[in-house]
Amino acid sequence: MTIELKRVVVTGLGAITPLGNTVAEYWEGLISGRNGIAPITLFDASQHDSQIAGEVKGFDPLTYLDRKEAKRMDRFAQFGVSASKQALADAEFVINDLNAEQVGVVIGTGIGGLKVMEEQQEIYLNRGPDRCSPFMVPMMIANMAAGLTAIQTGAKGPNNCTVTACAAGSNAIGDAFRLVQRGYAQAMICGGTEAAVTPLSFAGFCSCRAMSTRNDDPAHASRPFDIGRDGFVMGEGSGILILEELDHALSRGAKIYAEIIGYGMTCDAYHMTNIAPGGEGAARAMSLCLKDAGVTPEQVSYINAHGTSTPVNDPNETAAIKTVFGDHAHRLTVSSTKSMTGHLLGGSGGIEAVASVMAVAHDRVPPTINLVNPDPACDLDYVPNQSRAQTVELAMSNSFGFGGHNVTLLFKKYR
């Protein structure tokens, strides 16, 4: 039996980020090359090696939730639900009794409700088990951003949570794409969310020496592809897309930002934290994505790189791009928006998909800021320090996670 694959388009966007709490603010921050990294304010980081982060600033969950609801959500879920409501409003998509069973949710996260877990552990140790909150478990479990989004919006279709470390947000979008493409839903709310700027999270990442310690210069700490990079900078927030079956979107007169046409995922099967040599697994994910989309490497205009600003990731991702794109690799524009937002872990694929879609919609490529002295092993066009106007027909978004998870998405200009 042959399944008729449906065309899938992006009709709504939502974003809570270190550069702003709407898509418009986020995009303006990206194209202006604004830095979102600053000293940590969410906890006392004085004992940690890394004391800087891309925190979400000025976020008020009561903009989207009533006070009782907000109190029963960890910060990561607040971000995910809020960005989802933004995206639905942007798409002018109303969920009602007639369509609720055809609208689903997939929202990924790498860590979930770590803040609540840390707070409840302290209560347990200091005041005993009877004082722990009855909401501790439902607040901390990773699937709750997806579950609460459905509860808040009435979406009764397929509902899932991807937990694939830093690839989680992109996996969520790819899985949602498949569900619409194959007719299991008419529309999906999908993306990633994370709120891991917490003491325990920083202790763990600092112990494995993954994070930047450029505490005296946070504005220049996240510097992908630069020879002076010394590790990633943690960020937090959420990026959400509304994916919709094309005919359904056209029937209701929806605006269309872009079409999603490709999804590739692989595993390195190599190491818990390191990338396979030469970015072998990442290259396969990109190749599978191109094959899935039915396009050639030469058709791709722009790659939103995983670009973490770590010594290991950046040259290996560069090598992977060269493997897949050959001579065309040097004609591509490639940039890492993590240079401005930091690394949102499971939320990164969500906000970077938003950035990729906006690049397609507006024919403008965000820069890689803080790229002053390029690493000789990183010799592609990384759009250093200033955004660039160019026609973006196809934009690729890469996400790679601990455990060897590699995900690539491909967005196309809708005509």
The dihedral through the CA atoms of 207, 211, 214, 216 has a sign that is negative
Neighbouring residues of 113: CB distance < 8 A, sequence distance ≥ 6: 74, 76, 77, 139, 140, 141, 142, 144
Cα(307)–Cα(337) distance, rounded to whole angstroms? 8
Cα(395)–Cα(291) distance, rounded to whole angstroms? 15
Q: What is the DSSP letter of 183?
A: T
Q: Which two tokens stand for residue 321?
A: 């791009």
Q: Does residue 190 carry a catalytic annotation?
A: no
Residue 203: φ, ψ to 5°: -60, -45
Residue type at position 363: D
Cα(14)–Cα(81) distance, rounded to whole angstroms? 10
Q: Which two tokens stand for residue 295?
A: 């396009």
How would you class 132 by CB atoms within 10 Å of its CB: exposed for 0-12, middle for 13-18, buried for 19 or more?
middle
Nearest Cα neighbor of 37 from 17, 23, 58, 15 is 17
Cα(340)–Cα(45) distance, rounded to whole angstroms? 21
Cα(239)–Cα(145) distance, rounded to whole angstroms? 12
Q: Which two tokens stand for residue 362?
A: 């507006």
Cα(343)–Cα(300) distance, rounded to whole angstroms? 24
Going by DSSP bridges, is the β-strand pair 237-245/8-16 parallel, antiparallel, or unpaired?
Answer: antiparallel
How would you class 58 by CB atoms within 10 Å of its CB: exposed for 0-12, middle for 13-18, buried for 19 or more?
exposed
∠ CA(222), CA(227), CA(228), 5° rounding? 50
Cα(308)–Cα(19) distance, rounded to whole angstroms? 17
User: Which among 132, 161, 166, 190 is annotated as catalytic?
Assistant: 166
The dihedral through the CA atoms of 239, 61, 116, 45 has a sign that is positive
User: In Å, what is the CA distance from 333 to each residue of 35, 300, 392?
Assistant: 20, 9, 10
Residues taking part in catalysis = 166
